[in-house]
Amino acid sequence: MDEVRPGRCPACKAPSRPAGGALGLHGHGLRERHQWGPVEPGAVSTLISILLRRYRCRSCGAVVVVGPRGLVRRRLYSAGAIALALVLYGVADLSPRDVRHRISPLRIVGATAAAGWASRRRWSRAVRGGRLFPIVRQLPADAPLRQVAARAATTLAAYAPGPGGLALESAAFLGASM
Ligand SMILES: [Zn+2]
């Protein structure tokens, strides 16, 4: 638990481990979350279960949840998986069916769901509304969703660590996971 305890409370900045004092952030249990999507850009999509450690601040009462990078609040899919979907939709122009095949861990869906997989458009709308990947510069409200997805893909790719030269799919996946 000590390995992941944050250095200070993100809400009130109280130190988590004041010298000689009681712990400022103390353990507040675990929470389980599922994360969907490939764990690396070229991998088969999976559904993994993650345990998040929770801390409670003694000063202000805030509950702090610590999890791995790449987790997106209130979304089942990882940041990398969503970024990959935006590349495949916005830049590679794959069909909804092919995007779903790369991104979704669910192998069996109804024919209608496969044909009209809506997640890529829903994510693009969230980007356009600033609710997902807010670092992406806004396009005009009437810009086509594919164009929004393409801009998100290239923006996220620019955040990929390392010397560059990665394929767009890998760069966007890694940049979104930072
Ligand atoms: Zn606090």
Q: What pLDDT digit, counting tens, does each position of 143-178 carry?
A: 999 999 999 999 999 999 888 889 999 999 999 988
* Sheet-wide strand order for 63-66: 25-37, 46-57, 63-66
What's the domain count of the chain?
2
pTM comes to 0.81
> What are the backbone dihedrals phi and psi of residue 37, each rounded to the nearest 5 degrees, phi first?
125, 170
Ligand 1 ion local residues (Cβ < 5 A)? 9, 11-12, 14, 57, 59-60, 62
Is 38 inside a domain boundary?
yes
> Is 52 strand, coil or helix?
strand
Same domain, 161 and 135: yes
Beta bridge partners of 48: 35
CA of 63 relative to ligand 1 center, distance in Å: 8
| Ligand 1 centre distance from Cα of residue 21 (Å) | 15
- Look up the domain containing 35 and give its range: 1-68
By the 8 A CB rule, do 133 and 176 touch? yes
Domain assignment present for residue 100? The answer is yes
**Contact between residue 133 and residue 153 where contact means Cβ atoms under 8 Å apart:** no
As a whole number of Å, the CA-based R_g of the chain is: 19
The letter for the amino acid at 111 is A
Question: In this structure, are 143 and 64 located in the same domain?
Answer: no
State the distance from the centre of ligand 1 to the C-alpha of 47, rounded, in angstroms. Answer: 33
The answer as to whether 55 is a domain residue is yes
Q: Is residue 64 part of a domain?
A: yes
- pLDDT exceeds 70 at position 109: no
How far apart are the CA of 58 and the centre of ligand 1, in A?
7
With respect to residue 43, please indicate whether it lies within any of the assigned structural domains: yes
